[in-house]
Amino acid sequence: MPGLLALSWPEVLDHLVKLAIAYLLALPIGWCQEQAERSAGVRTFPLVAVATCGLMIVALKVMKGSAEAEARVLEGLITGIGFIGGGAILKGVHSVQGTASAASIWNVGIIGATTAYGLYDIGLILSLLNLATLRLLLPLKRVAQEAASRDANS
């Protein structure tokens, strides 16, 4: 119990706020993907953002301002999240699906990292752009798919 009492409660509150913001910025993206019945959704997206944020918070504390060390952690996160996103891509005989999900997973990882650094404006902008792209460009995607289908049948 002495370890718990020795915590810096303002620092704990700062961490909780950052993790909560990362979660909240990723949740609408996950909800959007869940409604579209994608393989990754309302659970995956917030978890990626929170895990990335948490790891970056730890890295910032442990690396104590070493930009080079922080860059290596970010590099590893970017690669790892890309690997997770790659699992969302399904290649068929004549199509590839899941690339938007993969890009969105990668994006929420970046949202988590920006939040860990306290760059909330960038996290919010990335979240809004991701959500707008998934929602607002879907009709355009459908038009393009219909045109491709007509061309293939001609």
Q: What is the pLDDT of residue 1?
A: 55
- Residue corresponding to tokens 């869940």: 34
pTM confidence score: 0.86
Nearest Cα residue to 107 out of 90, 138, 132: 132
- DSSP of 6-23, one letter per residue? TS-HHHHHHHHHHHHHHH
Buried b (16+ CB within 10 A) or exposed e, 107-123: bbbbbbbbbbbeebeeb
Q: What is the pLDDT of residue 3?
A: 66
Backbone torsions φ then ψ of 63, nearest 5 degrees: -80, -15
CA atoms within 13 A on the CB side of 44: 21
Nearest Cα residue to 54 out of 77, 28, 85, 87: 77
Rounded CA-CA distance 32/104 in Å is 11
Please report, in tens digits, the pLDDT of each residue of the chain (154 residues total): 566 778 888 999 999 999 999 999 999 999 998 887 777 778 999 999 999 999 999 999 998 888 999 999 999 999 999 888 888 888 777 777 888 899 999 999 999 999 999 999 999 999 999 999 999 988 888 888 788 777 777 7
